[in-house]
Amino acid sequence: MHTKLCVALTLLSLICGCRSNTFREELTTDQRVAIEQRGWKPLDVEGLDTEERAGRRAEAAELLARGQGALTVDPAMASGTLERAFRASIEPELAEQGLWLAGQGAYAAGGWRRAHRLTRAYLAAFPRSARYAAGIDRLFDIGKGAFEADGLGLSVVAALEDDDPAVRGTLFVGDTNAQIAIEVLGAFVRDFDRHPSAEEALYMVAEATLKVSGEEPAIIVWQRLMQDYPDGELVDLSEYRIARARLRGLLDPRRDQVPLLTALRALERYLERYPTGDRARAATVLRAELVELLSAHALAVADYYAYEDKPEAERVYLQDLVRRYPSSAAAREARRRLDAPVAD
């Protein structure tokens, strides 16, 4: 429930949130408060004598040098050391370098949330830095890193078909990296919607949302992409993914199939009463389409139990599928799996 609430709030901010029209955000009051609360500001040095100031400079310089030396060996540890250098610094130049490198270390270590926090802190604390544009690019890289760490790479997603059982199984996984991608990339699009990577970021939000929260929230994001970037490179893919998501929704094992079953029974009654009626041929075609949808849904339920490592339940659903819809394509797949040798 908490995950779905986070997704809903993120989507709401995407749709309703205020957006900047430049790549440079000003330091807002809230950001200043956040910086002060977390100690992200130069230390008050007015009460320090010359020796104490020299000691502070030496401490920060030593931490910076140690962190830089560890970046390629242990970037996670280096990030912590560099953040300490930033906090200890009394000089803006050293503080800026320490905070920037702390974010780079966290990114290299795959610490997506920490990298996001540090990079946004850098942009807020040093809005006139020469690295500012690179910091914005890094925010996109962080979100994309979380997205791809979840196995959701854009090139892979574009090629996948949702009727792959392995893909259907991932519908039931609530993954932390996918949630991080939604949060990081959602904030990126909200704040930097004119950035060259904003369209790709919004597309990745949709794909991650599909995994975390299901079809309808993902469709909202794809529709937003089509609205905001009508000439973009991912509009056609988004429209296709909307169609696939709607079909996937029909096949979701958690979805109530009563409407489809009711429609099937109504068609069967019609064909029993009017086998040669004016609409008999159309009713027969529609009945076959409903059988394929219902049998595909039954196979998706079996896939779910296979994913949950419950082979007995999987077998029950496969057998029921063959009994109910023997001539369907899903039934052929079910027979193949039922006939396959059981692994020891």
44/109 same-domain check: yes
162/191 same-domain check: yes
Does residue 132 fall inside a structural domain? Answer: no
7/147 same-domain check: yes
Question: How far lies 267's CA from each of 213, 320, 331, in Å?
Answer: 34, 21, 21
How far apart CA 179 and CA 280 sit, in angstroms, is 49
pLDDT tens digits, one per residue of 223-243:
999 999 999 999 988 998 887
215/319 same-domain check: no
- C-beta atoms surrounding 31 within 10 Å: 18
162/15 same-domain check: yes
User: What is the reported pLDDT for 53?
Assistant: 78
> For 339, how many CA atoms within 13 A lie in the half-sphere containing its CB?
7
pLDDT tens digits, one per residue of 237-293:
899 888 777 766 666 666 777 877 888 888 888 888 888 877 888 889 888 888 888
pLDDT tens digits, one per residue of 26-62:
344 444 444 444 434 555 666 677 787 788 889 989 9
* Full residue range of the structural domain in which residue 8 is found: 1-19+138-252
Does residue 81 fall inside a structural domain? Answer: yes
User: What is the reported pLDDT for 42?
Assistant: 57
User: What is the reported pLDDT for 292?
Assistant: 87
Indicate the number of domains in the chain. Answer: 3
173/304 same-domain check: no
Does residue 297 fall inside a structural domain? Answer: yes
Q: Look at residue 70 and tell me whether its pLDDT is greater than 70.
A: yes
Work out the average pLDDT over 11-18: 52
User: What is the reported pLDDT for 97?
Assistant: 94
Q: Which of 86, 102, 126 is the last residue of a domain?
A: 126
Instruction: Yes or no: say if 136 and 123 are a contact pair by the CB < 8 Å rule.
Output: yes
Q: What is the mean pLDDT of the chain?
A: 79
263/309 same-domain check: yes
158/98 same-domain check: no
Length of the chain: 344
Q: Which of 221, 252, 283 is the last residue of a domain?
A: 252
pLDDT tens digits, one per residue of 156-177:
333 333 333 333 333 333 347 8
> For 235, how many CA atoms within 13 A lie in the half-sphere containing its CB?
8
148/213 same-domain check: yes
Higher pLDDT, 246 or 150: 246
pLDDT band, residue 14 (cuts 50/70/90): low
User: What is the reported pLDDT for 6?
Assistant: 56
| Residue whose structure tokens are 């599909």 | 210
CATH of the domain at 323: 1.25.40.10
Does residue 334 fall inside a structural domain? Answer: yes
Does residue 194 fall inside a structural domain? Answer: yes
Does residue 97 fall inside a structural domain? Answer: yes
192/277 same-domain check: no
Q: Which two structure tokens, joined as six digits, stand for 261? A: 């079953």
Residues whose CB is less than 8 angstroms from the CB of residue 258 and which lie 6 or more positions away in sequence, other chains included: none
Q: Look at residue 114 and tell me whether its pLDDT is greater than 50.
A: yes
Higher pLDDT, 297 or 13: 297
Q: Which of 105, 126, 147 is the last residue of a domain?
A: 126
Does residue 131 fall inside a structural domain? Answer: no
Instruction: Yes or no: say if 302 and 253 are a contact pair by the CB < 8 Å rule.
Output: no
148/103 same-domain check: no
Does residue 133 fall inside a structural domain? Answer: no
pLDDT tens digits, one per residue of 93-113:
888 999 999 999 999 999 999
Instruction: Yes or no: say if 290 and 325 are a contact pair by the CB < 8 Å rule.
Output: no
CATH of the domain at 189: 1.25.40
147/244 same-domain check: yes
How far apart CA 120 and CA 309 sit, in angstroms, is 42
Least confident stretch, 6-10, 15-19, 180-184, 250-254? 15-19
Query: For a pLDDT cut of 70, what percent of the chain falls above it?
Result: 75
**Which DSSP string corresponds to 3-18?**
HHHHHHHHHHHHHHS-
User: What is the reported pLDDT for 107?
Assistant: 95
Least confident stretch, 13-17, 107-111, 337-341? 13-17
